[in-house]
């Protein structure tokens, strides 16, 4: 049995932001079940990671070195249960992709039966959409069931609370150093721009989404809330987790060609609903890698800024128990899941709680990414 502090050892040191019992906001690093106040290190007077993100890889290295030094000198730590984590950085822009072939093929098969499950562009570019940064919330925040337009089974168009609330198990990437307008970020420059990794739940109201999405894609069915973990794992803590992505055919265009350094990330995800594990997807199965996502996002000259967040898209695998959302797990509600308490779910009910966790190999152990937890409020 894993203790809550496992995976948060000195080889991990994820960053976050907390509010203390005295009401002070502090930028911190997590070690085990405690946090280290970063205020003495400079850069952190706002209590957030905003200035650190924009400072760049050399500063990221120096700060991590300084944190390691301080931890070696037995500093005063604050127990995790005496602080409340808050969103650790100001989310600049948010984009979400659709970069897992198993998810895209399952979704295509369920939504367009008889057609080609993948759209003709899918193996040529990472399909994505621009989302809403203002509704990105930290793990633990309740998510209100949205209302909107949907078309019900008899074809009538209605307005009301979503009847098909879903989660999407994803991995999010936090941009530190942005790119100016008119420039792009090549695949090879990923680590010079991206600071770290969070777990992400791209909550989805499927009935709203399916009715509104033609022809422009997701809008209100996604923009009401996106949850991210309270802890940002720096890329450097995941150095042992890089792996070869699946073979790509056809070979991507030159700006997406990563054959010189193909960099998939091997993260083992787990999704639980009300304490019952419903899925264990592997991020190593992603067709498009995080570096390709960022290269595509900027190839038209679109700028990015410190705090930009981009999601991978739902992480799914070839087997049923590796599917990362209820749309796939329950065939759009037609084949409900049975939870540990014997109850059945086609889609989420009010008060249901979804928790996404993940671990990655390090040299000699595993790191645990910060969990992303959220419950549905009526
Ligand atoms: Mn998504």
pLDDT in tens, 350-367: 999 999 999 999 888 899
Q: How confident is the model over 116-134, as a mean pLDDT?
A: 97
Q: Which residues pair with 107 in a beta bridge?
A: none
How far, in Å, is the centroid of ligand 1 from the Cα of 292? 17
Give Cα separations from 186 to 54, 163, 292 (angstroms): 18, 42, 8
**pTM of structure:** 0.98
In this predicted structure, the answer to whether residue 184 has a pLDDT above a threshold of 50 is yes
The confidence score (pLDDT) of residue 1 equals: 45
Residue 348 DSSP code: P
pLDDT band at 4 (very low <50, low <70, confident <90, very high): low
- The sign one gets for the Cα dihedral 109, 204, 131, 241 is negative
How far, in Å, is the centroid of ligand 1 from the Cα of 169? 8
How far, in Å, is the centroid of ligand 1 from the Cα of 198? 14
Widest Cα–Cα separation across the chain: 68
Average pLDDT over the chain reads 97
Question: Looking at domain 94-375, what is its CATH homologous superfamily?
Answer: Fumarylacetoacetase-like, C-terminal domain (3.90.850.10)
**Residue 339 has which token pair?**
């939870």
103 has catalytic annotation: yes
The active-site residue out of 12, 102, 103, 296 is 103
The confidence score (pLDDT) of residue 7 equals: 95
Percent of the chain's residues with pLDDT above 90: 97
How far, in Å, is the centroid of ligand 1 from the Cα of 200? 9
Q: Which helix (H) or strand (E) holds 311?
A: strand 309-311
Ion ligand 1, residue ranges at CB < 5 A: 96, 168, 202
In this predicted structure, the answer to whether residue 145 has a pLDDT above a threshold of 50 is yes
**Residue 60 has which token pair?**
């990221």
- What is the distance of C-alpha 144 from the center of its chain? 19
The confidence score (pLDDT) of residue 330 equals: 98
In this predicted structure, the answer to whether residue 3 has a pLDDT above a threshold of 90 is no
How far, in Å, is the centroid of ligand 1 from the Cα of 311? 7
Nearest CA to 233 among 371, 95, 100, 75? 371
Virtual torsion, Cα 207, 222, 201, 332, nearest 10 deg: 20
Residue 350 DSSP code: T
Assign 133 to helix, strand or coil: helix
How do strand 157-161 and strand 147-151 relate by DSSP bridges? antiparallel
Please give the Cα distance from 292 to 290 (Å, whole number): 5
How far, in Å, is the centroid of ligand 1 from the Cα of 221? 11
CA angle 339, 345, 348 (to 5 degrees): 110
Please give the Cα distance from 31 to 151 (Å, whole number): 49
Place of tokens 């337009």: 149
The upper half-sphere exposure of residue 246, i.e. CA atoms within 13 Å in the direction of its Cβ, equals 17
pLDDT tens, residue by residue, 5-33: 789 999 999 999 999 999 999 999 999 99
How far, in Å, is the centroid of ligand 1 from the Cα of 76? 40
Nearest CA to 141 among 189, 91, 86? 86
Residue ranges of the domains in the chain?
Answer: 15-86, 94-375
How do strand 353-362 and strand 136-138 relate by DSSP bridges? unpaired
- What is the distance of C-alpha 90 from the center of its chain? 16
Nearest CA to 231 among 266, 196, 270? 196
Q: Which residues pair with 85 in a beta bridge?
A: 18
pLDDT tens, residue by residue, 57-112: 999 999 999 999 999 999 999 999 999 999 999 999 999 999 999 999 999 999 99
How far, in Å, is the centroid of ligand 1 from the Cα of 172? 10
pLDDT tens, residue by residue, 94-105: 999 999 999 999
Q: How confident is the model over 272-282, as a mean pLDDT?
A: 98
How far, in Å, is the centroid of ligand 1 from the Cα of 133? 14
How far, in Å, is the centroid of ligand 1 from the Cα of 95? 9
Assign 55 to helix, strand or coil: helix
Please give the Cα distance from 229 to 8 (Å, whole number): 14
How far, in Å, is the centroid of ligand 1 from the Cα of 106? 14
Assign 209 to helix, strand or coil: helix
The confidence score (pLDDT) of residue 363 equals: 83
The number of beta carbons lying within 10 Å of the beta carbon of residue 184 is 18
How far, in Å, is the centroid of ligand 1 from the Cα of 244? 23
Q: How confident is the model over 275-292, as a mean pLDDT?
A: 98
pLDDT tens, residue by residue, 306-356: 999 999 999 999 999 999 999 999 999 999 999 999 999 999 999 999 999
In this predicted structure, the answer to whether residue 287 has a pLDDT above a threshold of 90 is yes
How far, in Å, is the centroid of ligand 1 from the Cα of 190? 21
Please say whether the beta carbons of 330 and 320 come within 8 A.
no
């Amino acid at each position: 049995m894993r203790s809550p502090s496992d995976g948060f050892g000195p080889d991990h040191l994820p960053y976050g932001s907390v509010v203390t019992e005295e009401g002070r906001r502090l930028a911190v690093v997590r070690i085990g079940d405690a946090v280290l106040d970063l205020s003495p290190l400079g850069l952190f007077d706002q209590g957030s990671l905003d200035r650190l993100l924009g400072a760049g890889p050399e500063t990221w290295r120096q700060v991590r070195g300084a944190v390691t030094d301080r931890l070696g000198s037995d500093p005063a730590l604050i127990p995790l249960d005496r602080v409340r984590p808050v969103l650790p950085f100001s989310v600049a822009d948010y984009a979400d992709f659709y970069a897992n072939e198993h998810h895209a093929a399952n979704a295509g098969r369920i939504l367009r039966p008889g057609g080609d499950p993948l759209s003709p562009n899918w193996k040529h570019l990472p399909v994505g959409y621009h989302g809403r940064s203002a509704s990105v919330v930290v793990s633990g925040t309740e998510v209100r069931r949205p209302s909107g337009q949907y078309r019900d089974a008899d074809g009538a168009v209605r307005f009301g609370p979503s009847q098909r609330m879903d989660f999407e198990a994803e991995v999010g990437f936090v941009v530190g150093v942005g790119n100016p307008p008119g420039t792009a970020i090549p695949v090879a420059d990923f680590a010079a721009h991206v600071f770290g990794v969070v777990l992400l739940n791209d909550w989805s109201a499927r009935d709203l989404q399916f009715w509104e999405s033609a022809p422009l894609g997701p809008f209100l069915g996604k923009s009401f809330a996106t949850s991210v973990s309270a802890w940002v794992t720096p890329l450097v803590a995941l150095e042992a987790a890089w792996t070869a992505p699946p073979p790509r055919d056809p070979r991507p265009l030159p700006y997406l060609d990563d054959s010189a350094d193909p960099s998939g990330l091997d993260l083992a995800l787990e999704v639980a609903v009300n304490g019952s594990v419903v899925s264990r997807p592997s991020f190593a199965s992603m067709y498009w890698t995080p570096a390709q996502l960022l290269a595509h996002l900027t190839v038209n000259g679109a700028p990015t800024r410190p705090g930009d967040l981009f999601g991978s898209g739902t992480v799914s695998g070839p087997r049923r128990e590796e599917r990362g959302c209820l749309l796939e797990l329950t065939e759009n509600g037609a084949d409900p899941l049975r939870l540990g308490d014997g109850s059945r779910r086609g889609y989420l009910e009010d008060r249901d709680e979804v928790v996404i966790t993940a671990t990655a190999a390090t040299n000699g152990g595993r790191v645990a990414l910060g969990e992303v937890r959220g419950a549905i409020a009526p």
